[in-house]
A = this chain, B = another copy of it.
Amino acid sequence: MSAELPQRSIDTIRTLAMDAVQRANSGHPGMPMGCAPMAYVLFREVMRHDPTTPDWPARDRFVLSAGHGSMLLYGALHLTGYDRPTMDDLKAFRQWGSVTPGHPESADLAGVETTTGPLGQGFANGIGMAVAAERLAAEFDGGGHDLVPQRVYGIVSDGDLMEGVASEAASLAGHLQLGRVTYLYDDNSITIDGGTAKAFSEDVLARFNAYGWHTQRVNDGNDLDAIRAAIAVADADPRPSLIAVRTVIGYGAPDKAGTSAAHGAPLGEDELAAGKAAYGWEHPPFHVPDEVREHLDMRERGRQLRAEWNERLDRYRDTQPELASEFDRRVIRGELPDGWTDALPTLDGKDATRKHSGAVINALAPVLPELLGGSADLAASNNTDVDGGGDFSADTTTGDEPAGRLGRNLRFGIREHAMASMANGMALHGGVLPYVASFLVFTDYCRPALRLASIMQQRVIYVMTHDSIGLGEDGPTHQPVEHLASLRAIPGMTVIRPADGDEVVDAWRTAIETPGPTVLALTRQGLPPLGDKPPRPAEAGGYVLADHVNAEGDVDVILIGTGSEVQLCVDAAEQLVSEGVGVRVVSMPSVDRFLARDAQTRADVLPPEVTARVAVEAGVSLGWDRLVGDRGEVVSLERFGASAPADRLFEEFGFTPDRVVEAARRSMG
Please tell me which one of the listed residues B159, B448, B475, B622 contacts residue A105 in the complex, with CB atoms under 8 A apart.
B475
A191 with B377: CB separation less than 8 A: yes
Q: CB-CB < 8 A to A172: which residues of B?
A: 199
* A662 at the B interface (CB under 8 A): no
- Chain A interface, number of residues (Cβ within 8 angstroms): 108
Q: CB-CB < 8 A to A26: which residues of B?
A: 472-473, 645
**Which of the segments A2-10, A410-418, A550-558 contacts the partner chain?**
A410-418
Q: Which of A611-625 contact B (CB under 8 A)?
A: 620, 622-623, 625
CA distance in complex: A27, B191 (Å): 44
* A356 at the B interface (CB under 8 A): no
A391 with B474: CB separation less than 8 A: no
A564 CB, nearest partner CB in chain B, Å: 19
Please tell me which one of the listed residues B196, B210, B414 contacts residue A210 in the complex, with CB atoms under 8 A apart.
B210
A176 CB, nearest partner CB in chain B, Å: 9
**Which of the segments A200-208, A303-311, A364-372, A541-549 contacts the partner chain?**
A200-208
A199 with B411: CB separation less than 8 A: yes
Please tell me which one of the listed residues B174, B411, B478, B622 contacts residue A193 in the complex, with CB atoms under 8 A apart.
B411
**Which of the segments A39-47, A248-256, A496-504, A635-643 contacts the partner chain?**
A635-643
CA distance in complex: A629, B448 (Å): 32
* A113 at the B interface (CB under 8 A): no
* A605 at the B interface (CB under 8 A): no
A462 CB, nearest partner CB in chain B, Å: 15
**Closest Cβ neighbor of A206 among chain B residues:** B210
* A402 at the B interface (CB under 8 A): no
Q: CB-CB < 8 A to A175: which residues of B?
A: 199-202
Q: CB-CB < 8 A to A164: which residues of B?
A: 120, 163-168, 415, 417-418
CA distance in complex: A52, B441 (Å): 36
Please tell me which one of the listed residues B67, B381, B629 contacts residue A630 in the complex, with CB atoms under 8 A apart.
B629
Q: A199-B411, A622-B489 are in contact. Are A381 and B174 (CB under 8 A)?
A: no
A591 CB, nearest partner CB in chain B, Å: 10
Q: Which of A330-352 contact B (CB under 8 A)?
A: none
**Which of the segments A96-104, A284-292, A428-436, A576-584 contacts the partner chain?**
A96-104
Q: A159-B414, A630-B629 are in contact. Are A380 and B639 (CB under 8 A)?
A: no
Q: A97-B644, A164-B168, A486-B489 are in contact. List 14 more A-B contacts (CB 8 A).
A: A94-B645, A105-B476, A116-B477, A163-B164, A163-B415, A164-B167, A174-B201, A174-B202, A199-B413, A203-B210, A207-B210, A209-B210, A445-B448, A623-B623
Q: State the 6 A-B residue pairs at the shortest beta-carbon distance, nearest first.
A: A164-B164, A101-B643, A199-B413, A167-B167, A486-B486, A96-B644
